[in-house]
Chain A
Amino acid sequence: MGFEGSANKVAVGVVRSDGAILSNPRKTYITPPGTGFLPRETAEHHREVILDLVQAALDEAGVAPKDLDVLCYTKGPGMGAPLVSVAVVVRMLSQIWGKPIVGVNHCVGHIEMGRVVCGAVDPVVLYVSGGNTQVIAYNEKARRIERRYRIFGETIDIAVGNCLDKFAREIGLSNDPSPGYNIEQEAKKGTKFIDLPYAVKGMDVSLSGVLTERMRRGECTAADLCFSLQETIFAMLVEITERTMAHCNTQDVLIVGGVGCNVRLQEMMGEMVKQRGGALYATDDRYCVDNGAMIAYAGLLAFMEGDVTAMKDTTCTQRYRTDDVLVTWRKDKE
């Protein structure tokens, strides 16, 4: 069973070791248009609903607590207060049910879920969400020596989801079901392409300038801005992914993270991958957006290799890089 609560979603999921998802309920803390989610209020929301989610996850999966092998929770990265609110619940359940705990890196959860759902073997991973923008690969050398995911490119300032969310707030779009989704819908109505800053630095991108720049403009509709913003920042993301592919000599791409369910981004990435003769793997919002099953699955993989987190180590951390995790479970051919 996996527990996730690093941002405004709280979720519990039950998975089997073969990747079958038995249940995956989730609740999102939605704030009114023009506002974002604050750590303390988000944690309050999570505390309110998490026990219902645990019950729902058990019922839906048709299992009893005694059938579970391990409880997995998001150790980080994420917002401190929401993370801790979930960790407390996991510690309590672990003691009541007598089950071991495994702490999971949120980003690795996304990657492993994407890999098992799509059946992608060794893709370049574009991880795009509210707090993360990274191009990750598990390349030849990483396999042999490091056994770690390696970040090839990332944002050097704000994350792409953060950029979109802030923009949605600025123009007063609804946060329900998510600001990114509403931008995507709005962008479909946009026709005029507005020139925005395009900042690719090697394999890294810079997104804050786009935001500052477009705030100064007023000569077009919100739809046009949504359209141009998407076209520009997604082009940047596709470009750094392509650079990483060329660098690592990889054919396939996997997109994970909340922004990954944006169909326009998937289209653009698909186009690029086709030009290079590879395949694109992407999932819909059930697996792209933060969920409990991904934490359960990534934790289970580590658990099967003998990893267990002792009670005293079941802490949370706001900063936990993807390349900090020792990948014990990947048995790729060398």
Chain B
Amino acid sequence: MTATAKRKASEVVDDAVPPTTTAEAATTTTTTTTTKVVDLIKNLGGYDNMISQGAEGRVFAVTFLGKPAIVKQRFEKTYRHPILDKKLTKSRLNMEARGMMRARKLGVITPTLYYVDTHQAAIYMERVDGASLKELIRAGAMTEEEMRDVGEEIGRVVAAMHDGGLIHGDLTTSNILLRARDQKVVVIDFGLAHNSIIPEDKGVDLYVLERAITVTHRSAAMFEHVMAAYKQHSRQWSASFNKFAEVRMRGRKRSMIG
């Protein structure tokens, strides 16, 4: 979930846009797909159970085999060319599942993956009880010390992913949770994740994170802790840092003619 744009269920129903999805089977006609997704949403408890609508998909809170779960369903982007949309939806669904599994193998805490429904582009996972870093910073709920600890933990976690060849692709403060029971950092939303060991990709990943932390929240100190911990924990920190500096300059320079 890229964002936690929380909206009331009633507002969403008012949109009256029939939620559709590009099912994997190209043969499925639009009508049947639509009905299926409507059924799916009904099965998930309707829009009352929808907890957020991000840029990518809708997230529902459900119970899966007796456990509290989250379902993330990617809806069809009608503005996109159908071929492109199908390709992106499929690859992101796959990458999300794979990225999550891979991150866990690298010792990063992510929600447990329960089930992937490729047909309806829905992914079922553990419901983590906690708050996003974005919410915590916005609410001013963290002390300097906690910011430092969390920053260091994020640095360690990102280093672990990068050294394992996993690029998250969307490291924003909305995608980093703090678990309520033990205050551990949980990484979510691997929809833009990919496998890579190229420093360029790591640099961009760090750049996205920097922008999320410093631009959105103006907490530059926290990002320094992230970088310090990253340096400590990553074997290839030097190459990543060099590329990071390069990518940063690119972003700066870009304000040119128009």
Contacts and interface: CB of A to CB of B under 8 A. Distances in A.
Interface string A222-253: 00000000011001001100110111010000
Contacts of A157: 250
Nearest to A110: B258
Contacts of B255: 77, 107, 132, 134, 319-322
Contact of B79 (A193, A238, A245): A238
Interface stretch (B29-37, B180-188, B204-212): B204-212
A246 B258 contact: no
Given A231-B84, A271-B79, A277 B15 contact: yes
Nearest to A193: B83
Given A235-B79, A242-B55, A106 B2 contact: no
Contacts of A202: 169-172, 192, 208, 211-212
Contacts of A106: 258
Interface string A153-183: 0111101010000000000000000000000
A277 B35 CA distance: 22
Contacts of A320: 255
B5 A246 contact: yes
Contacts of B79: 235, 238, 267-272
Contact of A193 (B78, B84, B250): B84
A206 B118 CA distance: 28
A130 B257 contact: yes
Interface string B59-86: 0000000000000000101111101100
A237 to B, nearest CB: 10
A7 interface: yes
Among B6, B77, B87, B256, the one with the most A-chain Cβ atoms within 10 Å of its Cβ is B256
Contacts of A16: none
B84 to A, nearest CB: 6
B110 interface: no
B54 interface: yes
Given A110-B258, A275-B78, A318-B256, A201 B169 contact: yes
Given A78-B257, A159-B254, A277 B84 contact: no
Contact of A79 (B247, B254, B257): B257
Q: Interface size bucket, A side?
A: 35 or more
A88 B15 CA distance: 53
A40 interface: no
Contacts of A258: 258
A277 B6 CA distance: 13
B250 A131 contact: no
A324 to B, nearest CB: 8
A60 interface: no
B222 to A, nearest CB: 16
A22 interface: no
Contacts of B258: 6-7, 77-78, 106-107, 110, 127, 129-132, 159, 161, 257-258, 290
A195 B80 CA distance: 13
A51 B209 CA distance: 49
Nearest to B91: A198
Interface string A133-165: 110000001000100001110111101010000
A166 to B, nearest CB: 14
Interface in B198-241: 204, 207-208, 211-212, 215-216, 218
Contacts of B207: 156, 204
B144 interface: no
A149 to B, nearest CB: 12
Contact of A246 (B53, B88, B169): B53
24 contacts: A6-B257, A77-B257, A79-B257, A107-B258, A131-B256, A134-B255, A156-B204, A157-B250, A161-B258, A193-B84, A198-B88, A204-B204, A231-B80, A231-B81, A235-B79, A235-B84, A246-B54, A247-B2, A247-B216, A272-B79, A275-B15, A275-B77, A275-B78, A321-B252
Given A246-B54, A270-B79, A275-B75, 5 more contacts: A78-B256, A110-B258, A134-B254, A159-B254, A247-B174
Interface of B: 2-3, 5-6, 11-12, 14-15, 17, 53-55, 75, 77-81, 83-84, 87-88, 169-172, 174, 192, 204, 207-208, 211-212, 215-216, 218, 247, 250-258
- 5 A-B pairs with the lowest CB-CB distances in the bound complex, closest first: A246-B3, A131-B257, A202-B208, A271-B79, A268-B79
Interface of A: 6-7, 77-79, 106-107, 110, 127, 129-134, 141, 145, 150-152, 154-157, 159, 161, 193, 195, 198, 200-204, 231-232, 235, 238-239, 242-243, 245-247, 249, 257-258, 267-272, 274-277, 290, 318-322
